[in-house]
């Protein structure tokens, strides 16, 4: 099972790993696009006003641009530890046992605007680039990533659970992947799409999928696994699941 996570805008600082080595990342066939984007991002950092405009940043976020300027020289850390925020707080890899962490490193991967796809243990630096960003002189990120990343994801020979947000899933959709929508249910039975806590619920779901010893091979077995874990999961056919949570 492969669980695809969205990245986060926020990144943990520092790290104890050597500087970025693209050849060491998962899916080395993506190296060409990764290098093109990393070079463009580092170069753009030399023009702060242009970087703010391209990345949608305010002057208070110039530290993000400084991170991009040091992309090739700053220390690295595992991707699953680099990304922060609500989803990753709920995932809480720091509390996993050694065996659970090893399982999580095998199963978790992150969709990235800069790297396309990184495994949980791939060492990456802090950076700032979103799926909707447009770098001067380059095609859109979707135009760059779709032809390169789609074959990589299509070649995955196990169940894929795609928890990426829409903008990142659009960079390279995965045919047949299981997707999960989160709905809140009120006492009167009415339902609404979960917005604010959506990431927290998906983070907890990712933790469950990353640590279970089960190996569901299809959406039906995955649904059964989640129900055994006490989750209210509905399946109306196809590969979409609905996670229903109390309002």
- Looking at residue 196, what is its pLDDT? 74
**Domain locations in the chain?**
2-246
Cα separation of 225 and 216, whole Å? 8
Count CB-CB contacts under 10 A for residue 166: 8
pLDDT digits (tens, 9 = 90+) for 87-106: 999 999 999 999 999 999 99
126: Cβ contacts below 8 Å, ≥ 6 apart: 11, 12, 13, 14, 15, 67, 74, 82
- Contact assessment for residue 36 and residue 137, using Cβ atoms and an 8 Å cutoff: no
Residue 231 predicted with pLDDT over 90: yes
pLDDT digits (tens, 9 = 90+) for 176-201: 999 999 999 998 989 898 877 899 99
Residue 133 predicted with pLDDT over 80: yes
At residue 56, what are phi and psi to the nearest 5 degrees?
70, 40
- Looking at residue 194, what is its pLDDT? 84
The percent of residues above 90 in pLDDT, for the chain, comes to: 93
- Contact assessment for residue 146 and residue 32, using Cβ atoms and an 8 Å cutoff: no
More confident residue, 237 or 90: 90
Q: DSSP 3-state assignment of 27? A: coil
- Looking at residue 187, what is its pLDDT? 87
At residue 99, what are phi and psi to the nearest 5 degrees?
-65, -40
pLDDT digits (tens, 9 = 90+) for 105-118: 999 999 999 999 99
């Amino acid at each position: 099972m492969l669980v695809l996570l969205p990245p986060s805008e926020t990144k943990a600082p520092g790290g104890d790993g050597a500087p970025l080595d693209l050849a060491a990342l998962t899916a080395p066939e993506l190296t060409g696009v990764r290098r093109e984007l990393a070079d463009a991002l580092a170069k753009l950092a030399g023009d702060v006003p242009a970087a703010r405009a391209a990345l949608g940043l305010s002057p208070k976020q110039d530290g993000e641009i400084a991170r991009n300027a040091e992309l090739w020289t700053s220390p690295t850390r595992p991707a699953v530890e680099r990304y922060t925020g609500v989803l990753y707080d709920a995932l809480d890899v720091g509390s996993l046992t050694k065996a659970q962490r090893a399982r999580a490193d095998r199963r978790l991967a992150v969709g990235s605007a800069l790297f396309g796809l990184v495994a949980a243990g791939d060492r990456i630096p802090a950076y700032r680039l979103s799926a909707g960003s447009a770098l001067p002189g380059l095609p859109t990120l979707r135009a760059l990533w779709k032809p390169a990343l789609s074959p990589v994801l299509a070649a995955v020979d196990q169940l894929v659970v795609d928890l990426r947000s829409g903008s990142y899933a659009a960079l390279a959709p995965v045919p047949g992947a299981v997707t999960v929508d989160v709905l809140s249910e009120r006492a009167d039975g009415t339902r609404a799409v979960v917005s604010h806590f959506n990431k927290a619920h998906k983070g907890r779901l990712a933790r469950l999928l990353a640590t279970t010893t089960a190996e569901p091979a299809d959406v039906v077995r995955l649904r059964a696994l989640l129900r055994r874990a006490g989750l209210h999961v509905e399946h109306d056919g196809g590969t979409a699941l609905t996670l229903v949570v109390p309002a």
